[in-house]
Amino acid sequence: MNKNKKALTILMRTRMRPLSPATNKINQMQFPSMDGKNKVSSSQGASTSAHTDFKRVRESMHSAISMNKTEILDAALADFSEGYFDLSCENRRVLLLTLAREYDLHRTQVRELMKQYLGLELPSGDNAVENVYEEEGSFSAFYRIERNLRHSLKPVYEVLFERLNTHPGGLRFLSIMRADILSFLAEENIASLRALDSFLKEKLITWLSPANLQLHNITWDDPASLLEKIVAYEAVHPISNLLDLKRRLGVGRRCFGYLHPAIPGEPLIFIEVALMKHIAQTIQEVLWDDPPIPECEATCALFYSISSTQPGLSGINLGKFLIKRVIDVVRKDMPTILTFATLSPIPGYMQWLLSKLATVDRSGPTFSENLLKPDEESALLDAAEEFTSGKNGMEVMWNLLSSTSHEWVNSEKLPLALRTPLMRLCARYLFQEKKRGKALDSVGNFHLQNGAMIGRINWMADRSEKGLQQSAGIMVNYIYVVDHIEENAQLYFSKGQIQASDEVRSYLEPQENCREETKD
């Protein structure tokens, strides 16, 4: 009976999808009457009320920064965090801009201190360094100004962040605030707001260090309130029903999450793991593996989904630490597990490929790159006759892959004709295409900077609508070779060097491999 109640609770809550405190506050707002007269007066009243609310929240924010008395400070922090959620989206933007601009560092003071510092003369003489301990008096002015400079280079809003971090619910509130900042920056890149985001991000990285996080093995026995968040925030392979959830938490499966004491009952990030005999080549093997193999027969831990629950923690790589912790835990608990790998989506592949194919019309034959080899183009033109036409193979390929119906998947000939060029171009995309010296694909960049290598590219590994749209159904296995994780990560960070198996390299031309190695 208790299990049925728990299942019903999860089902009902996830159908309603968890709402943020901000959304709840917005949903509770009263809307004006549709009556003409009342509409005008209500609109005026709402405007006055919004202005009053904004003024009150701004005052509480100032109090939270400037006051030191504990009782008043706690009340100000509570008023500010609660009042923030009552503000409209536009008023939040104005408030955050106010915080970024009016509570920034004191640049006049910084400039004055820099002038004083540049006006000091270092002790002269060849033995100045050797006699530094004897000449402490000569350096006292340097130490004093340097100390004052360090203090002046800290923005005033640091006080608000520090105080909120120690306030109940403050860390979660800061995460929501940063999510708003990122949203506003996506609309307009404002320098002061960008500086505010950068500073808050650095603070969150410190407060969310692995030492402050708790690794939790999530099971079906956990509270329904926690499991509903797994269902709601699963970002890679949506959980279809309660049976699916129970399977992902059952025999042959593991789910680990990072929790923070300040945000109890809600994982900041979680990873799903399948215990298997071999590295899976399709997501169907993982999600529909019923019944799973006995765990004692497993030799591979496959990471098939990793999801963050906090948009405000974007850019903070908690996944890196989570994967390494999970590897350590699994190795300790299950010594038979020798292989650690992923079955990962390739979210940017189709966007990259379609943009390449589209250059044919824009650039003309002189400057456009022919992505197809002669035999590939010939096979594709023959197979595509009943579906589409085009001046050349690249145009036909664009017509097929840009179609949202994905009819080519159901053809007998087209998958065979498309497989060779799509796999070859996917290897190129993963291994060679870069942005600022790092892998262009976001998922690839994540795993490579964590120390993984590209192990295998899998054809028709994800036949879902999302999988076909992102990468024509192709997925990739990244391999975490335990003894080489740190070495691979260092080579990637320092040189942009990507490690890949011979199988992946075999898709590329010999000269392309040589060019990549020379560039690295």
Which residues are marked as active site? 344, 447
Tell me how far apart the alpha carbons of residues 374 and 213 are, in angstroms, rounded to a whole number: 55
DSSP, collapsed to helix, strand or coil, labels residue 260 as strand
Please give the DSSP secondary-structure letter assigned to residue 258: E
Residue tagged 């992505």 (tokens): 371
Contact 13, 5 (CB under 8 A): no
Q: What sign has the CA pseudo-torsion 336, 339, 340, 342?
A: negative
The candidate with the shortest Cα–Cα distance to 109, out of 66, 160, 65, 155, is 155
Q: Which residues pair with 435 in a beta bridge?
A: 438
Structure tokens at 479: 């391999």
The dihedral over CA atoms of 431, 433, 439, 444, expressed in degrees to the nearest 10, equals -60
Distance of CA 280 to the CA centre of its chain: 24
What lies within 8 Å, CB to CB, of 329 at 6+ separation is 215, 217, 256
Contact 170, 164 (CB under 8 A): yes
Tell me how far apart the alpha carbons of residues 432 and 515 are, in angstroms, rounded to a whole number: 10
Neighbours of 172 (CB within 10 A): 21
In whole angstroms, how far apart are CA 28 and each of 58, 86, 95? 22, 10, 22
Catalogue the E-assigned strands of 65-133: none
Residue tagged 């998958």 (tokens): 415
Please give the DSSP secondary-structure letter assigned to residue 300: E
Counting DSSP H helices and E strands in the chain, the numbers are 23, 9
